[in-house]
Chains A and B, each alone.
Chain A
Amino acid sequence: MTGRWLFTKVGAAVLTLIFVLIFNFFLFRAIGDPTTQLARLPGATDKEIEQLKSDYGLDKPLLGQFADYVGDTATLDLGISQNTREPVWEEIKDALPWTLLLVGTGTLLATLIGAWMGVKAATKRGTKTDDGLLGFSLFTYAAPEYWIGIILILLFAVAWPIFPAGQQVTPGVEFASWFDEALDVVDHLVLPATAMTLMLLGQYFLIMRSSMVDVLTEDFITVKRATGLSRERVINRHAVPNALLPLVTLSAIQFGAVAGGAITIETVFSWPGLGELSFNAINDKDFPMLQGTFLVFSVGVIFANLLADILYFYLDPRVQSR
């Protein structure tokens, strides 16, 4: 039973991925010959353009080209960056851990803080605390995350320069130990991670809050209370865990927004992740790189969704009993 369900989910994920490939492929063919950009180089003779075309396999029929594309992608050959002439995958590989670090920290903190805020607001529903927290979350939801990032720079890297304003390490410095370097990274991570956390906070808060309210009204809570458990206990041991569940699914829905946030926040802080790669590719009109980062973002989100579905399946008591 579970096997079949798993199979469908994975199958759907793979299908989605295939459509991403199709989309990627046709989109860039649609704008015309990729060699037109290269043809703009001074001194590009017709013969050289023909040669380029055959190198890129552009003289094959469309289906053949697509088959090539799929095959290449499977072997992690995502093409050559138009600007650096380096393999796209190499650059993505180097950038990926940094994005994961930023996004992971932001999601973790947003979950923890948002959940905590949600519990507080739900248990103090209708009070000023609730209103305050609600207002704060709405504000951070509506505010553009890159704007928040710039304001953080203004406040904590310019006005009171206690944090660095960009990069991931202080450049050109040799560190005495791995730990020192890690500390330097954390130092540089604080502001961008704060921006990311604030961006994601609102949703976690709202969901946790409404989910807590739902749970608090359920019968089993009244029963627990009636058996004489303290307020603390009831909230922490029984209400919260059950309210936590929707958070998992929400994390999944968030991944798409997280990808977008990664791009803008990394741009603001020159954080050397996928987002900054994308930003540079936009400015340079480096289409292979843009294709590559879009693919990786999509794969990441698809995979994360799949993971969340699986997690949800195992965590939800109601689903399991089916």
Chain B
Amino acid sequence: MTKGAVTVVLVLVAFGLALVATGASGQDGTTADGTTADGTTADGTTADATTAAPSNDENVLRIGWAQDPDTLNPFVGQNEEDYTVWALNWDLPINFSPKTLGPAPGIAESWEVSDDRKTVTMKLAPDMKWSDGKPITSKDVKWSLDELGGHGVLFAGYTSSITRIETPDPETVVIHTKRPDARVIGGLFVYVLPEHIWGKVPLKQLKGQYQPDLPIVGSGPYVVTEYERRKIITMERNPNWRGEPGAYDKVQFIKYGNQDAVERALDLGEIDLVREVESSSYARLGEQDNVSTRRSQTPAYTQLSFNMCPERLCPDAQFNPAVQDRTVRQAIAYAVDRNKLNEIATRGTSFVANGILPSYYKSFYETPEQTYPYDPDQANQMLDDAGWELNDDGVREKNGETLSFDLYVRSESPFTVQMAKLIAEMTQDIGVEFNVQVVSTDKLYDLTVRSENGKPAPDFDTFIWGWGGDPYDPSFLLSILTTGEIGGSSDSFYSNAEYDKLYREQTGIFDTEERKAVIQRMVAITQRDLPYLVLTEDPQLQAYRTDRIQAIKPVCPEETGDLFCDQVSYDGVLALEPVAGASSGETGSGNAGLAGLIGLIVGFVGGVIVTRMRSRGQNEPLEIPE
């Protein structure tokens, strides 16, 4: 008995140690005290108080997600989730208006453009303070634009045309650009960081492992006070917030293991809002009581790219030359039913796309003249007229070229894999063959950036991928099809001198109507040439509990935007209101399980004891098997 006992004791000790260790390593640095209520359990009994009693009625907005930021340092952060937190913590020099997404006061309360449009003078509001009490000055703006705009992974590029920034006084910032650049007003997406903190850290560290101290000093309505990676991010009110305070005292972002768990948490009431819902659960969530869903547009799309690299730029590129035949691409466009793609691959949650400028850009968008409505007859006609004849395998041929193309698609994105397969099915009807190749993102990336002898040499015919643009200024999305981006972000390797010229022109036009006209001409060119066949515009799918958050007014832009202006502006969160009397916290359903389990164990042990007592003194013969 002793030896067996030793083993058991050893295991128990190890187990006990582990318990203690987990207790110790649990929540550290929590400054929050949450409000929790006693919930009723599944069988109606009140849960025991394993949660803190409701304290001073704090309003906490709890948002759940399956991916959390790896870091909150904007110099190295690369996840899109980072923006959700940054957008609440900091301002831009000029913010985006929640109504129109156009320019609105940020750190700068007013601005002036010079006559030659190459100088922008920003005036800061007087007496602005950071959350730590230090004044916000032009020095902060200059430092942020120079350093974050110069070195931040996600921010480099916005300041590309800036030559010089002057700060004649603490409330004035003068920005000089080498050409007129409308982005300085409508799209300078570089957060203004406190120079007195970030400026003291060597650049090498900023781009390395630097993590800002908590609370993260900022100018937005909330600042990060707690950051436990893969667990929770808590933001609390900025004591020096200059605007109207929001209804919520705290905003919490809670990380769950996977999307499934997030949605379950919403069902259970552990969280109030989910900022990204999967297309496959969107419909189901919407049907639930107390849950409301929202589908809104984003500046992002999914496209079918063609290899357009001209010989002189990519002498060693590998692709089927037929892909550069414009008629072929146009025929393919007519043969792909984009409505059906949306219906099936994204379950109707996306928006059908018409061209390279998403309809999200209300100020600059217009439905193009040429939208390639689904018309396989037209497609067949065009190919017939051009002399492409069907061979024995049902694929068209001409002069030794066959309309058989590789179609690369990323395994990490199942809905694009589906789209690829659907496209391959559809184009069979016009004698075009797509060979769908499912590869990893890395592999596709390598194929597109492949180079030989210092020149790009992409190895693909077609692929499906996506892009996401900026909230207001469409320059980025338009830039990827310029010749200048070949070797950079251009993955179609399209090169058209007129398009390039128009691009440069529109970046310098500050007048919206004028700019829109130029942009429309650019769209028309690309609709004709089809370097991209843009398939769908990605939606923002969100869900929230109606018993926690009151009637939500969509913002960014007004009426068609999302629930809280995610990643773009903090105004959305400020407009949210909790339902009176709603408490955030666990519903107590878990305690039923524990109580039940304990009951079971007690019952079992009791039963064992009783049976043993009864059978004590019995002397049955022991069967010894031979």
Chain A residues close to B by CB (< 8 Å): 40-43, 80, 83-86, 93-94, 96-98, 100-101, 104-105, 107-108, 111, 123, 125-126, 156-158, 160-176, 178, 180-188, 190, 213, 216-217, 221-222, 225, 230-232, 234-235, 237, 240-241, 244-245, 247-248, 267, 269-270, 272, 276, 280, 285, 311, 315
Contact = CB atoms under 8 A, between A and B. Distances in A.
A192 to B, nearest CB: 11
A172 B153 contact: no
Contacts of A125: 625
B605 interface: no
Contacts of A270: 256-258, 261
19 contacts: A40-B442, A97-B22, A97-B25, A104-B18, A107-B11, A108-B12, A164-B590, A166-B264, A168-B22, A172-B584, A187-B50, A187-B594, A216-B624, A230-B617, A231-B620, A234-B622, A241-B1, A270-B257, A285-B442
Contact of A43 (B60, B156, B209, B234): B156
Contacts of A190: 593-594, 597
A241 B14 CA distance: 21
Contacts of B26: 169, 181
Contact of A100 (B18, B27, B620, B626): B18
Interface in B518-558: none
A247 B615 CA distance: 28
A69 to B, nearest CB: 20
B359 interface: no
Contact of B589 (A100, A162, A311): A162
B62 interface: yes
Contacts of B56: none
B538 to A, nearest CB: 20
Contacts of A181: 23, 26-27
A162 B42 contact: yes
A172 B622 contact: no
Contacts of B19: 101, 182
B44 interface: no
Given A43-B156, A100-B14, A111-B11, A171 B625 contact: no
A183 to B, nearest CB: 5
Contact of A187 (B6, B25, B593, B626): B593
B470 interface: no
Contacts of B622: 225, 231, 234-235
B242 interface: no
Interface string B16-34: 0111011111110010111
Interface string B433-445: 0000000001001
Nearest to A191: B593
Contacts of A245: 3
Contact of B232 (A100, A171, A182, A188): A171
Q: Is the interface of A mostly helix, strand, loop or mixed?
A: helix
Nearest to A273: B22
The 4 A-B pairs of least Cβ separation, nearest first, read: A270-B257, A162-B593, A97-B21, A100-B18
B144 interface: no
B589 A161 contact: yes
Interface in B191-208: 208
Contacts of A94: 25
Contacts of B623: 123
A107 to B, nearest CB: 7
A160 B258 CA distance: 21
B133 interface: no
Given A162-B590, A276-B257, A84 B51 contact: no
Nearest to B620: A231
Given A80-B209, A85-B209, A98-B22, A174 B30 contact: yes
B268 interface: yes
Contacts of B1: 237, 241
Given A94-B25, A244-B7, A272-B231, A180 B51 contact: yes
Contact of B14 (A104, A166, A217): A104
Contact of B252 (A172, A185, A187): A172
Q: Is the interface of B mostly helix, strand, loop or mixed?
A: loop
Given A86-B209, A178-B23, A225-B624, A166 B52 contact: no
Contacts of B584: 172
Interface string B585-626: 110011111101100000000000000000101111111111
B51 A85 contact: no
Given A85-B76, A100-B18, A173-B34, A162 B23 contact: no
Contacts of B6: 311, 315
Nearest to B10: A311
Nearest to B24: A97
Given A85-B70, A172-B254, A241 B3 contact: yes
Contacts of B398: none
Given A93-B25, A174-B33, A247-B7, 4 more contacts: A97-B25, A162-B589, A174-B52, A241-B3
Contacts of B232: 171-172
B229 interface: yes
Contact of A173 (B18, B229, B255, B586): B586
Contacts of A231: 618-622
B49 interface: yes
B590 A315 contact: no
B590 A41 contact: no
Contacts of B569: none
B77 to A, nearest CB: 10
A181 B230 CA distance: 19
Which of B22, B261, B597, B618: most chain A CB closer than 10 A?
B22
A83 B81 CA distance: 14
Nearest to A240: B4
Contacts of B621: 231
B467 interface: no
Nearest to B7: A248
Nearest to A183: B50
Which of A108, A160, A170, A272: most chain B CB closer than 10 A?
A170
A105 B16 CA distance: 10
A108 B12 CA distance: 8
A271 to B, nearest CB: 8
Given A180-B50, A181-B26, A311 B626 contact: no
B8 to A, nearest CB: 8
Nearest to A168: B22
B7 A315 contact: yes
Contacts of A311: 6-7, 10
A96 B25 CA distance: 10
A60 B110 CA distance: 55
Interface string B265-294: 000101000000000000000000000000
Nearest to A284: B70
A209 to B, nearest CB: 12
Interface string B560-594: 00000000000000000000000011100111111
B218 to A, nearest CB: 21
B71 interface: yes
B53 interface: yes
B490 to A, nearest CB: 13
